[in-house]
Structure 1
Amino acid sequence: MEFVLVPGAWAGGWIWDEVAKSLRDRGHNVHQLTLSGLNEQSETCEIGLSTHIEDVESYIIRHGLESIVLVGHSYSGIIVGQVATRGRVSIRHTIFIEAFLPVSGQSLLDVSGLSIDEEERAILENEGMWPAPSRAELATQPRLNDADINLLCAKQRPHPGKTVTDAVKLESPLVDIPATFIAHEGWLSFSREHDLLATLKSSGSWRFKNIEGGHWPMLTIPQKLAELIHSCVA
């Protein structure tokens, strides 16, 4: 099975290392993507939501991948959901991990439950980049230990701001794709996506799995997460 793992905001493919190893040990081929603007110092002012969608699609096309399992975490739920519904590439199944979901006409900030004014101000003050969480902010997150926090502080990068302020353009309904949603109990209850989740739960094409590893289960419980990902297509 071909797995394409897409990181959330501020992160690169490195965040999937332990999960990827576990999936490879199960015999899968695994691709860990790093999206534009997150891997090197580069001109990022023109990197928007469409850039990251095209990053994923072009990688899949360039490597000749077919019938893949596409996995997104947090911010990249917005990305993988759009890739899966666009139909430009062959997606067998989409997995959303502690993820936000794409809603036509809405940006990540619109659906996130965050203060839009505060986040847009932070992006403006950081020359168009969305600053990564501070050590103090990460310390308030459940399940992260000191090693996890040290890793995130060392490797997370500012994220291209336009990707979280650009509006989604969904070409077909999310309910039309086969998908699995993996998150802790109550995830998205704080956001504007609560009603959307209820609709998806009543569909026959989406499955829901609970995991209690905080917002970064690929760091806190990677083996358990890999087992759940594997079970989605086993």
Structure 2
Amino acid sequence: MSIDAFKPSTFVLVHGAWHGGWCWARVAERLRARGHKVYTPTLTGLGERHHLLGPDITLQTLVQDIANVLVWEDLSRVTLVGHSFGGVVITGVADLMPERLLQLVYLDAFILPSGVSTFDTLPTDVTDKLRAMAALQPQPSLPAPKPKSLGLFEPEDVGFVESRLTPQPLATYDTALQLHHPVGNGLPCTYIHCTTPSFAAVEGSRLWAKENTGWDWKELQTGHDAMVSAPGLLAECLDELVYSAR
């Protein structure tokens, strides 16, 4: 491998629903120790920005959050990682500014085509139940799930996540992703499947990526919230991906 292959890379790690930039702390620490530059922005209305929660936060708001990070920090050749619902966000960002990106990494993530919302992918009885739950909240939002449903079982991991999850803005599930290019916009893409246990909610996205694309495919033997349950494995996987993409 050439000396250039060991130059540090830039990562922007995008969290999923109910999470915040905090969830990447263990992975970011490991990547920075390897010399990489790492950004872990929190999307509007979530995490330490939960005080901004309101009905006007749409999927486009979240896409613009990450696009603004790339512009204001003047980033280029970025490995953009989206976990779970964050996969929808990075698809939108890649559609807007592929010139700033090196590759996309979908970490056990949702993938939506243009014109489709997250609610469009769910059965009507499920969306009706979720809307009813959201209506009971002080702001229209989806209550956070239990950590066990995210594949977390160790007491330390459960405690770390449970105390930090915040409600998800309802309109982010209700608004459709609007794309002008195919998903991925021609960039190198990798899908990482967290296998132990497998997260059923993203099964359709996993199958689509595996059967309808030429994307790279990786598997990690851990649960859905891999950045919490297996930060070492995930950091090593991401590290390998940036070197292979050069």
TM-score of the aligned structures, taking structure 2 as reference length: 0.85
Q: Distance in 2 between matches of 1:191 and 1:116?
A: 18
- The residue type paired with residue 149 of structure 1 is V
Q: 1:45 maps to what in 2?
A: 55
- The residue type paired with residue 197 of structure 1 is A
Q: Which moved more, 1:214-223 or 1:79-88?
A: 79-88
What is the aligned length?
Answer: 228
Pair 1:26-2:38 in alignment: no
Are the structure 2 counterparts of residues 88 and 182 from structure 1 closer, same or farther at C-alpha, using a change threshold of 3 Å?
closer
Q: 1:89: Cα distance to partner?
A: 5.3
8 A contact 2:59–2:171 mirrored in 1: yes
Q: Which moved more, 1:223-232 or 1:80-89?
A: 80-89
SS of match in other structure, 2:52: coil
Q: 1:64 maps to what in 2?
A: 74
8 A contact 2:19–2:164 mirrored in 1: yes
Q: 1:75 maps to what in 2?
A: 85
Q: 1:118: Cα distance to partner?
A: 1.4
Pair 1:221-2:233 in alignment: no
Pair 1:211-2:220 in alignment: yes
- The residue type paired with residue 104 of structure 2 is T
SS of match in other structure, 1:69: strand
Q: 2:114 maps to what in 1?
A: 104
- The residue type paired with residue 193 of structure 1 is S
Q: Which moved more, 1:102-111 or 1:32-41?
A: 102-111
Q: Distance in 2 between matches of 1:78 and 1:61?
A: 19
Are the structure 2 counterparts of residues 72 and 141 from structure 1 closer, same or farther at C-alpha, using a change threshold of 3 Å?
closer
TM-score of the aligned structures, taking structure 1 as reference length: 0.89
Q: 1:173: Cα distance to partner?
A: 0.9
Pair 1:132-2:149 in alignment: no
Q: Distance in 2 between matches of 1:197 and 1:153?
A: 30
Q: Distance in 1 between matches of 2:206 and 2:28?
A: 30
SS of match in other structure, 1:147: helix
8 A contact 1:70–1:94 mirrored in 2: yes
Q: Distance in 2 between matches of 1:116 and 1:83?
A: 26
Are the structure 2 counterparts of residues 190 and 58 from structure 1 closer, same or farther at C-alpha, using a change threshold of 3 Å?
closer
Pair 1:94-2:133 in alignment: no
Structure 1 residues not aligned, in runs of 5+:
none
Structure 2 residues not aligned, in runs of 5+:
1-8
Q: 1:190: Cα distance to partner?
A: 6.4
Are the structure 2 counterparts of residues 79 and 116 from structure 1 closer, same or farther at C-alpha, using a change threshold of 3 Å?
same
Q: 1:16 maps to what in 2?
A: 24
Q: 1:196: Cα distance to partner?
A: 2.3
SS of match in other structure, 1:174: coil
8 A contact 2:193–2:206 mirrored in 1: no
Are the structure 2 counterparts of residues 191 and 123 from structure 1 closer, same or farther at C-alpha, using a change threshold of 3 Å?
farther
8 A contact 1:3–1:31 mirrored in 2: yes
Q: 1:122 maps to what in 2?
A: 133
Corresponding residue to 1:196 among 196, 208, 212: 208
